[in-house]
Amino acid sequence: MELFKKYRRKQVAELRELQPGENKAVLKEKRVSISDEDMKLLDADFAKGKVARNPANYLDKWYINAEYVANNFEPME
C-alpha cells in the first residue's frame, strides 16, 4: 500500500486560462502534461481548466482541471 503524507505548498502558483483554440491535442503539442483522468474530461469541462507552469522552469507546464483549481487556488490580484 502506498503511504501518502500531507504537504502544504510554499510557493505562489503561476496559472493561466486556456487560450482560444487550445484543447487537449494543442496542449499536448505544446508539451503541456495532462493526466489520464483529465484526458477523459468532456471538451467543455476541459476548457474550464488552467495551465500551470513551474516558476523555476517555464518549459515545465501541466494542466489543472477547474475543480482542483477552485478547491486549492485563489487569485492574488
Residue 77 in this model has a pLDDT that exceeds 80: no
Neighbours of 41 (CB within 10 A): 19
Higher pLDDT, 22 or 76: 22
Q: pLDDT of 5-39, one tens digit each?
A: 998 888 889 999 999 999 999 999 999 999 999 99
Q: What is the pLDDT of residue 37?
A: 97
SS3 71: helix
- Residue 7: partners with Cβ closer than 8 Å, 6 or more residues away: none
Q: Give counts: helices (H), strands (E), the chain.
A: 4, 4
CA–CA gap between residue 37 and residue 40 (Å, rounded): 5
Look up residue 10 and give its amino acid: K
Query: Which pLDDT score, from 0 to 100, does residue 7 have?
Result: 87
* pTM of the model as a whole: 0.88
